[in-house]
Amino acid sequence: MSHRGRKKLRTWLFQGAKSVVVHSEAFKSLHEHYTTRAGTR
């Protein structure tokens, strides 16, 4: 995540994304897939 732009807006977007991952099964599985896949770095 870059440090450009409005700090409050970045915070709200990040908090919203976290909430979606916690409460939506579809996004939860998608998030798990992208954070645990091998060979990303």
Indicate the SS3 state at residue 3: coil
Q: How many residues are given for the chain?
A: 41
- Per-residue pLDDT for the chain (41 aa), expressed as one digit of tens each? 678 889 999 999 999 999 999 999 999 999 899 999 887 55
pTM for the model:
0.63
